[in-house]
């Protein structure tokens, strides 16, 4: 958290790619996308929150860094400082989890996602990104049985993962 707190003030100008093609493409072609609350994990300064807000009735932006969340003011109405390995949400409480260049927390993802919900796994820079995981690796890590639809858009890649059992 301290590291990201230090980076927050300059994040948008120096670290963020701003490449939203994979997010937009996943929402357009990864459907059907369930309606309901969307949990944005590792939301940072909220660069992608407006895209998610246009697609979902409620977006809960979660980040470990309080300063990142403060810089998201005006982009995200619901900001929560939390560790994604221990989310302060009820079981099966969100329809969609958006993980954009984020670490994977398989147990928490499966716990808070509604049975018919889905995980949007987005890599802004595709396999060149530091947090890139192919869809097959994400499926293998998640508890239970999952199906993935994946594609590329712009510089990045995306996968929509649905629990099948």
- Which residues of the chain carry a pLDDT beneath 70? 1-18, 68
Query: Are 68 and 8 a contacting pair, CB within 8 Å?
Result: yes
Number of domains in the chain: 1
Q: pLDDT tens digit string along 111-149? A: 999 999 999 999 887 777 777 899 999 999 999 999 999
Q: Which residues contact 84 (CB under 8 A, 6 or more apart)?
A: 41, 42, 62, 64, 102, 103, 105, 108
**Predicted local confidence at residue 76, as pLDDT:** 72
Host domain of residue 134: 2-163
Residue 101: both structure tokens together: 């260049």
Angle at the Cα of 38 from the Cα atoms of 32 and 42, rounded to 5 degrees: 120
**Predicted local confidence at residue 74, as pLDDT:** 77
Query: Are 121 and 25 a contacting pair, CB within 8 Å?
Result: no
Measure CA 40 to chain center. Answer: 5
Mind giving me the DSSP string for 2-63? Answer: HHHHHHGGGHHHHT-----HHHHHHHHHS-PPPPS-EEEET-TT-TTHHHHHHHSS-EEEEE
The answer to whether the pTM exceeds 0.85 is: yes
- The residue count of the chain comes to 165
Angle at the Cα of 107 from the Cα atoms of 128 and 55, rounded to 5 degrees: 65
**Site of tokens 């300063």:** 67
Which H helix or E strand runs over 80? strand 78-81
CATH number, position 19:
3.40.50.150
Query: Are 98 and 52 a contacting pair, CB within 8 Å?
Result: yes
């Amino acid at each position: 958290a301290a590291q990201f707190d230090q980076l927050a003030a300059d994040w948008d100008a120096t670290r963020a790619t701003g490449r939203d093609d994979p997010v937009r493409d996943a929402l357009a072609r990864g459907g059907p996308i369930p309606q309901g609350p969307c949990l944005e994990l590792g939301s940072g300064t909220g660069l992608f929150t407006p895209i998610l807000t246009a697609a979902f009735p409620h977006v809960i932006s979660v980040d470990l860094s309080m300063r990142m969340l403060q810089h998201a003011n005006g982009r995200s109405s619901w900001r929560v400082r939390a560790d994604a390995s221990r989310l302060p949400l009820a079981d099966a409480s969100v329809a969609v989890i958006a993980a954009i260049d984020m670490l994977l927390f398989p147990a928490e993802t499966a716990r808070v996602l509604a049975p018919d919900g889905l995980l949007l796994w987005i890599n802004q820079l595709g396999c060149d990104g530091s947090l890139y995981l192919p869809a097959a690796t994400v499926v293998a890590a998640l508890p239970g049985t999952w199906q993935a639809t994946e594609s590329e858009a712009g510089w990045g890649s995306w996968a929509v993962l649905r629990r099948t059992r």
